[in-house]
Chains A and B, each alone.
Chain A
Amino acid sequence: MNAPLSRLDRPNSYIGRAVTRPNAMRLLSGRGRFVSDLVLPRMLHAAFVRSPYAHARITGIDTAEAAAMPGVRLIATGADLAKICTPWTGTLDHFKGMKSSPQLPLPLDEVVWAGQAVVAVVADTRAAAEDAAEAVLIDFEELAVVGDIDAARAEGAERASGSIDDNICFKTLIDAGAVDEVFAGAAHVVETELRFGRHTAVTLEPRSILADYDPSERQLTVHHATQTPYQFQDLYSRHFGLAEARVRVIAPDIGGSFGMKLHVYHEDMAVVGLSILIGRPVRYVADRIEAFVSDIHARDHRVRARLATDAEGTILAMDVDDVTGVGAFSTYPRTSVVEGNQVIRLIGAPYRFANYRAGLSVVFQNKVQTSQYRAVGHPIACAVTERLVDLAAAEAGLDPFAFRAKNLISDDAYPATSATGYRFEKLSHEVCLARLKAMMDYDGLRLDQAEARTRGVHRGIGIATFVEITNPSPAFYGIGGAHISAQDGAVVKITPSGEVQCLVSVTEQGQGTETIIGQIVAEKLGVDRDRVKVITGDTDITPHGGATWACRGAGIGGETAFQAAKALKRNVLGIAAAILQARADDLDLIDGQVVEQAGGAPRMSLAEVARIAYFRSDILPPGTQAQLTVAHHFAPEGYPFAFTNGIQGCHVEVDVETGFVKVLKHWVVEDCGTIINPMLVDEQVRGGVVQGLGAALFEECLYDDNGQLTNGSLADYLVPMACEMPDIVIGHVETPTKDTELGAKGCGEAGTAAASAAALNAVNDAIAPFEAAIGRIPMTPHRILRALGRV
Chain B
Amino acid sequence: MTAKVSVTLTVNGETHQGAVEPRLSLVDFLRQDLELTGSHIGCEMGACGACLVLVDDRPVHACLMFAVQAEGSTVETVEGLTERGALADLQAAFRDRNALQCGFCTPGMLASAYAILARGGVPSRDQIRDALSGNYCRCTGYEAIVDAIEATARTRAAAHAQALRPQARLPDEARP
- Taking beta carbons and an 8 Å cutoff, which residues of A are in contact with B? 20-21, 23-25, 27-32, 34, 36-37, 39, 127, 201-206, 253-258, 287-288, 509-512, 679-680, 683, 686-691, 713-715, 719, 721-723, 725, 727-728, 751
B141 within 8 A of A: yes
CB distance from B77 to the nearest CB of A (A): 7
B68 within 8 A of A: no
* One of B41, B95, B107, B137 near A21 (C-beta < 8 A): B95
Let me know if A288 and B44 touch, CB within 8 A: yes
Let me know if B95 and A722 touch, CB within 8 A: no
Let me know if B78 and A29 touch, CB within 8 A: yes
Contact A509-B144, Cβ < 8 Å, known A30-B39, A288-B45, A714-B48 = no
* Residues on the B chain within 8 Å of A510, using CB: 100-103, 139
B38 within 8 A of A: yes
- Chain B window 93-109, contacts with chain A (Cβ cutoff 8 Å), 1 for yes, 0 for no: 01110101111111100
Complex Cα–Cα for A713 and B42 (A)? 11
CB distance from A669 to the nearest CB of B (A): 16
* Residues on the A chain within 8 Å of B142, using CB: 690, 721-722, 725
Let me know if A713 and B47 touch, CB within 8 A: yes
Complex Cα–Cα for A680 and B132 (A)? 22
* One of B44, B95, B104, B137 near A28 (C-beta < 8 A): B95
Let me know if A27 and B40 touch, CB within 8 A: no
B82 within 8 A of A: yes
CB distance from B136 to the nearest CB of A (A): 6
* Residues on the A chain within 8 Å of B126, using CB: 723
Complex Cα–Cα for A683 and B144 (A)? 8
Complex Cα–Cα for A751 and B141 (A)? 10
CB distance from A32 to the nearest CB of B (A): 5
Let me know if A36 and B77 touch, CB within 8 A: no
* Residues on the A chain within 8 Å of B23, using CB: 127
Chain B binding surface SS class: loop
Let me know if B37 and A30 touch, CB within 8 A: yes
| Interfacial residues of chain B within 59-74, with CB under 8 A of chain A in the complex | none
Let me know if A24 and B95 touch, CB within 8 A: yes
Let me know if B105 and A204 touch, CB within 8 A: yes
CB distance from A410 to the nearest CB of B (A): 32
Complex Cα–Cα for A36 and B105 (A)? 14
* Residues on the B chain within 8 Å of A691, using CB: 138
For B147, give the chain A residue with the smallest CB separation.
A727
CB distance from A203 to the nearest CB of B (A): 6
For B146, give the chain A residue with the smallest CB separation.
A722
B155 within 8 A of A: no
Let me know if B45 and A713 touch, CB within 8 A: yes
* Residues on the B chain within 8 Å of A690, using CB: 140-142
Complex Cα–Cα for A255 and B38 (A)? 13
User: Given contacts A690-B140, A727-B143, could you give 11 more A-B pairs where the C-beta distance is less than 8 Å?
Assistant: A23-B103, A24-B95, A28-B94, A29-B38, A203-B138, A204-B105, A205-B104, A509-B101, A714-B47, A721-B136, A725-B143
CB distance from A225 to the nearest CB of B (A): 10
Complex Cα–Cα for A689 and B138 (A)? 11
Let me know if A205 and B40 touch, CB within 8 A: yes
Q: List 25 A-B contacts (CB under 8 A).
A: A24-B103, A28-B95, A28-B106, A29-B38, A30-B36, A30-B78, A30-B79, A36-B37, A201-B138, A204-B42, A204-B50, A204-B138, A253-B102, A256-B102, A256-B104, A256-B139, A689-B141, A715-B47, A722-B128, A722-B132, A722-B137, A722-B146, A723-B129, A723-B130, A727-B143
Let me know if B94 and A722 touch, CB within 8 A: no
For A203, give the chain B residue with the smallest CB separation.
B138
* Residues on the A chain within 8 Å of B110, using CB: 28
Complex Cα–Cα for A338 and B79 (A)? 43
Complex Cα–Cα for A21 and B106 (A)? 15
B135 within 8 A of A: yes
Chain A binding surface SS class: loop
For B78, give the chain A residue with the smallest CB separation.
A30
* One of A24, A205, A715, A719 near B100 (C-beta < 8 A): A24
For A685, give the chain B residue with the smallest CB separation.
B141
B91 within 8 A of A: yes
CB distance from A507 to the nearest CB of B (A): 12
B122 within 8 A of A: no
For A288, give the chain B residue with the smallest CB separation.
B43
* Residues on the B chain within 8 Å of A25, using CB: 91, 95
Let me know if A28 and B91 touch, CB within 8 A: yes
A-B CB proximity, top 3 nearest:
A30-B38, A27-B103, A255-B104
Interface size class of B (residues with CB under 8 A): 35 or more
* Residues on the A chain within 8 Å of B146, using CB: 722
* Residues on the A chain within 8 Å of B94, using CB: 24, 28
* Residues on the B chain within 8 Å of A206, using CB: 42
Let me know if B102 and A204 touch, CB within 8 A: yes
For B82, give the chain A residue with the smallest CB separation.
A29
CB distance from B66 to the nearest CB of A (A): 13
Complex Cα–Cα for A331 and B28 (A)? 33
Of B45, B106, B128, most A-chain CB atoms within 10 Å: B106
B133 within 8 A of A: yes
CB distance from B19 to the nearest CB of A (A): 15
Let me know if B102 and A509 touch, CB within 8 A: yes
* Residues on the B chain within 8 Å of A34, using CB: 37, 40, 104
Complex Cα–Cα for A713 and B130 (A)? 22
* One of B38, B43, B125 near A713 (C-beta < 8 A): B43
CB distance from A43 to the nearest CB of B (A): 11
CB distance from A677 to the nearest CB of B (A): 9
CB distance from A310 to the nearest CB of B (A): 40
Complex Cα–Cα for A39 and B126 (A)? 41
* One of B39, B43, B77, B140 near A687 (C-beta < 8 A): B140
Let me know if B21 and A127 touch, CB within 8 A: yes
Contact A32-B104, Cβ < 8 Å, known A713-B43, A723-B129 = yes
* Residues on the A chain within 8 Å of B9, using CB: none
Complex Cα–Cα for A29 and B87 (A)? 9
Complex Cα–Cα for A722 and B139 (A)? 12
Let me know if B48 and A204 touch, CB within 8 A: yes
Let me know if B143 and A714 touch, CB within 8 A: no
Of B36, B43, B98, B132, most A-chain CB atoms within 10 Å: B98
B153 within 8 A of A: no
Let me know if B140 and A721 touch, CB within 8 A: no
CB distance from A292 to the nearest CB of B (A): 10
For A684, give the chain B residue with the smallest CB separation.
B101
Let me know if A721 and B132 touch, CB within 8 A: yes
* Residues on the B chain within 8 Å of A714, using CB: 42-43, 45, 47-48, 136
Complex Cα–Cα for A21 and B99 (A)? 11
* One of B41, B106, B140 near A686 (C-beta < 8 A): B140
Let me know if A255 and B48 touch, CB within 8 A: no
Let me know if A20 and B96 touch, CB within 8 A: yes
* Residues on the A chain within 8 Å of B41, using CB: 36
CB distance from B110 to the nearest CB of A (A): 7
Complex Cα–Cα for A287 and B94 (A)? 28
CB distance from A41 to the nearest CB of B (A): 14
* One of A39, A256, A715, A727 near B138 (C-beta < 8 A): A256
For B94, give the chain A residue with the smallest CB separation.
A28
Complex Cα–Cα for A28 and B144 (A)? 14
Complex Cα–Cα for A30 and B83 (A)? 10
B117 within 8 A of A: no
* Residues on the A chain within 8 Å of B105, using CB: 204
For B47, give the chain A residue with the smallest CB separation.
A714
B145 within 8 A of A: yes
* Residues on the A chain within 8 Å of B141, using CB: 683, 686-690, 725, 728, 751
Of B38, B43, B96, most A-chain CB atoms within 10 Å: B43
Of A254, A721, A725, most B-chain CB atoms within 10 Å: A721
* Residues on the B chain within 8 Å of A688, using CB: 141
CB distance from A660 to the nearest CB of B (A): 16
Complex Cα–Cα for A21 and B98 (A)? 7
Contact A205-B95, Cβ < 8 Å, known A510-B100, A722-B133 = no
For A285, give the chain B residue with the smallest CB separation.
B41
- Chain B window 9-48, contacts with chain A (Cβ cutoff 8 Å), 1 for yes, 0 for no: 0000000000001010000000100011111111111011
Complex Cα–Cα for A715 and B42 (A)? 12
CB distance from A759 to the nearest CB of B (A): 14
